[in-house]
Amino acid sequence: RLCGINIDISKRKKLEAELQALAMTDVLTGIYNRRYFTQLLEKEMKRSQRYQTSFSLVMFDIDHFKQVNDTYGHDVGDLVLKEVVSLIKTRIRKTDFFARWGGEEFIILLLNTSYEQAAILAESMRELLQNTSLPQVGRVTASFGVSSYQANESIDALLKRVDDLVYQAKRNGRNCVRVDRY
């Protein structure tokens, strides 16, 4: 005698996949979220230490974004965030990791990339944003920081360096790129 149970688990698997995606991505922009990006960064730091590979970070913050929300409303602000993400995606490689760091701040992990190469990329992204007119708001700009990982550096130290560069760009007039030349 043979007895069996047949259960369709496709709905459960679909739900698991949706939960996995929610745990990794920013709901608004569809790119990685801060939590997942931090996990990726920790893994890359270990890989870099083991294999002596290089990587760089580019962090940027949309200039005067509060004015966009105050002038046009949060719905338009959300559209600006989506448009900026879409534009930046045209400049980065499929192997790079792009995340929303918080609010209007973003970060990109560039594998096997020197700070010089990352600076060139950041400048091209800055120019792209500056020269693109977005629906309803016109042109937006961003302030960029670029830094490369240094052997045995902590994640907090690396993130602080690149974040400080973004704020240095903000203090120096915005719409510019600041590079840490370590």
Measure Cα distances from 152 to 71, 91, 157 in Å: 45, 29, 10
Alpha carbons 102 and 158: distance in angstroms, whole number: 17
Q: One of 16, 42, 104, 153 is an active-site residue; which one?
A: 104
By C-alpha distance, which of 58, 56, 59, 32 is closest to 153? 56
Q: Do the Cβ atoms of 29 and 82 come closer than 8 Å? A: yes
By C-alpha distance, which of 121, 117, 92 is closest to 32? 92
Burial zone of 81 (CB within 10 Å; 0-12 exposed, 13-18 middle, 19+ buried): buried
Determine whether 104 is an active site residue.
Answer: yes
Going by DSSP bridges, is the β-strand pair 177-179/142-148 parallel, antiparallel, or unpaired?
Answer: parallel
What positions carry a catalytic annotation? Answer: 104
